Amino acid sequence: MVMKFGSEISRLKSCNKYKTKKKAIKNLIAFFGAQPQPSPSLKAGVIVLFFIFFYFVLPHFLTLLSIIFYLCSMQELNDEYFMQEALKEAQKAYEADEVPVGAVVVMNHKIIARGHNQVELLNDATAHAEILAITSAFNLLGSKYLPEASLYVTLEPCLMCAGALYWGKIRRIVYGATDVKNGYLHHTKEPGPFPAKIEITKGILEAECAFLIQSFFRAKR
Ligand SMILES: [Zn+2]
């Protein structure tokens, strides 16, 4: 008896739910059906907005997009230009029978310091191109940090030079050829010792940079 009463109650409940749902659906249909249709002036407004978008906003957007592409390509051209300058330094080292590595320090799109490997000339194992270039930049600026400067070097910096660049707080490091044997990544592995804000770009004029080093060691054999 109790069970039958219970099943009746639950059937009633489900019936109520169904009715409530049905009513709610009906209400919604009535509500949406009662909404006013877009007036002709609203349609005209939408057309004007489309017109403004296509004739005024879209061309500016495309211009902005082309400026961004232009700046990106300029960055690549700049990198290649400054790496060419670093290669000129490396060539000087080559001609002086030093391991041919060259570097330049760039600030505000200008070269403020240069250096090439002078280990043999100075009898100094630390006289790497990067060390000489950043030391020259420190002296020029009268500052122990280079937070607005970029260093371009033909070969991946060694652990010592990576340390010097780390302490010098340089903004960006750009290098050409990878040094599998003596490069800092051989010791530290990716991503290296640098904080995330220091930008690292590798492989700029890589073939030219590697060719110079390979030619030097081939001639030595
Ligand atoms: Zn070094």
pLDDT at 34: 54
pLDDT at 82: 97
pLDDT at 5: 46
Asked whether 202 and 185 are in contact (CB, 8 A), the reply is no
Q: What is the mean pLDDT of residues 128-147?
A: 97
Asked whether 157 and 175 are in contact (CB, 8 A), the reply is yes
Q: Which of 89, 98, 130, 156 is catalytic?
A: 130
Residue 210 has which token pair? 């590697």
18 falls in which pLDDT band (50, 70, 90)? low
In the predicted model, is pLDDT for residue 35 greater than 80?
A: no
130 is catalytic: yes
Asked whether 97 and 91 are in contact (CB, 8 A), the reply is no
Lowest mean pLDDT among 108-112, 115-119, 193-197: 193-197
In the predicted model, is pLDDT for residue 3 greater than 60?
A: no
Q: Scanning the structure block, which residue is given the tokens 């110079």?
A: 212
- For ligand 1, the distance from its centroid to the CA atom of residue 73, given in whole angstroms, is 30
- For ligand 1, the distance from its centroid to the CA atom of residue 175, given in whole angstroms, is 12
- For ligand 1, the distance from its centroid to the CA atom of residue 12, given in whole angstroms, is 86
- For ligand 1, the distance from its centroid to the CA atom of residue 161, given in whole angstroms, is 4
In the predicted model, is pLDDT for residue 206 greater than 60?
A: yes
Lowest mean pLDDT among 63-67, 82-86, 179-183: 63-67
- In angstroms, the Cα distances linking 131 to 95, 102, 137, 150, 200 are 20, 11, 10, 13, 17
1 falls in which pLDDT band (50, 70, 90)? very low
In the predicted model, is pLDDT for residue 20 greater than 50?
A: yes
- For ligand 1, the distance from its centroid to the CA atom of residue 85, given in whole angstroms, is 18
